[in-house]
Amino acid sequence: MIKKNINLFLFFLIFSLFTHCTNGDKTISCFPNTSINVALDLGLPSNQNLASINGYVYVPAGPLSGTRGLIVINTSQGFVAYDRNAPHICPSESSTLEVVDDFYILCPDDGAQWLFNGQPIGDKAAGRPPKSYPAQLIGNMVYINYN
């Protein structure tokens, strides 16, 4: 009976570790889950950088733009919006993602890096790409929505 209880306990412990560490979008369990609803007018000077491939803008944090804001990038395949929360560690004062040298995304907390397409550089990101949100160009507006 004791052996059965120990085996059952170990099963639930291992199961909870696997289900607690990640969720379906490959972020860690402490990743903030927020609704996103942002519209960017490409005609505004503040969004001018999005007119070129690999151009990006930061969207400040707000009620519908995430707890740390977004990085919106114009890639060769269209627009992509990344959450500025690091996907591989729990949020801290220094874990807000930022663009470095107009070339890659960096987590200042531990130095993890990603290319603009979300591909991790090295192993610090634990294979997790930044959380991305659907971004769609309609006319002169980029719409980013996630519920």
Find the mean pLDDT for residues 61-71.
96
Q: Options 3.30.365.10, 3.30.70.20, 3.40.190.10, 2.102.10.10; which CATH number does 32-146 get?
A: 2.102.10.10
pLDDT at 22: 36
How far is CA 24 from each of CA 20, 27, 78, 108, 110, rounded to the nearest angstrom?
A: 11, 8, 24, 25, 24
Is the per-residue pLDDT at 13 higher than 80?
no
Q: How many angstroms from the chain centroid is the CA of residue 147?
A: 15
CA distance 14 to 102: 41
- Per-residue model confidence as pLDDT tens digits over 71-121: 999 998 999 999 999 999 999 999 999 999 999 999 999 999 999 999 999
